[in-house]
Amino acid sequence: MNTTRTTKYGQGKDALLAATVKVVAERGLHGLTFRAVSEVAQVNNTLISHHFGTKDALLHEAVAWATARSMRLSDISSTDSIDSNFARELVELVDREPHLQMFQYEFILESRRRPDLHDEAVALYEGYIGALENLLTKQGHVNTRPLARAIFATLDGLVLQQLTVADPKSVQDAIECIEKLLEANLSTTQVGSSS
């Protein structure tokens, strides 16, 4: 008889990290315990201890896992432009996997209270900003770092709104407006450089 238990989130460390993201998204960082993660992952909590050792180690790996997954699913690093397809895909990602974003917001807020998490929170945001900067450079924009930071701040705020108060259609429409602003910025930059 096969007694292997199948978890809701897959197998191995990924299942434990996905369960950690879900726990933090639903209960906040103060609700993160090995027991809570084991209940969501449907495994014995000693398995979590075996893989990660400490709650902080689990948290740090979960941040890296959630960020990498979110970047991969939003496809920021391989997209050609912030357009209607990008807007639709981002809105769908937030709808499909809200725990990824909620986890990251919980972590960012906790980094304000826990200085030991500050550098990791900065790295999380800088990863997104760096991906946007690469995209803007490919499109021919100049002075891309501040522009990437401004766009990321807008997208970050829109995602938060989608998670809390805004309907996905209004968020998608707002993201599509970013495309028009970028087109205008690029036109202005090209006109200015040819004078």
Burial of 67 (0-12, 13-18, 19+ CB in 10 A): buried
Query: Which residue's structure tokens are 């929170």?
Result: 121
Pairwise CA distance, residues 55 & 106, whole Å: 15
Residue 4, pLDDT score? 38
pLDDT of residue 59: 95
| pLDDT per residue as tens digits for the range 143-163 | 899 999 999 999 999 999 999
Of 141 and 79, which is predicted with more confidence?
A: 141
pLDDT digits (tens, 9 = 90+) for 65-100: 998 888 888 777 677 788 888 888 889 999 999 999
pLDDT of residue 1: 38
Residue 11's pLDDT is: 62
- The owner of tokens 């209270």 is 113
Lowest mean pLDDT of 28-42, 70-84, 96-110, name the range. 70-84
Mean pLDDT of 45-57: 91
Of 8 and 111, the structure prediction assigns the larger pLDDT to 111
Place of tokens 């766009």: 151
Query: Mean pLDDT, the chain, as a whole number?
Result: 87
Residue 12's pLDDT is: 80
Give the pLDDT score at 6. Answer: 38
Residue 115: pLDDT above 70?
yes
For residue 57, give every residue at least 6 positions away whose Cβ sits within 8 Å of its Cβ, in sequence order, or none. none
In this predicted structure, what is the pLDDT of residue 95? 93
Distance CA 20, CA 16 (A): 6
Global pTM reads 0.83
Residue 10's pLDDT band, with cuts at 50, 70 and 90, is very low
50 or 4: which leads in pLDDT: 50
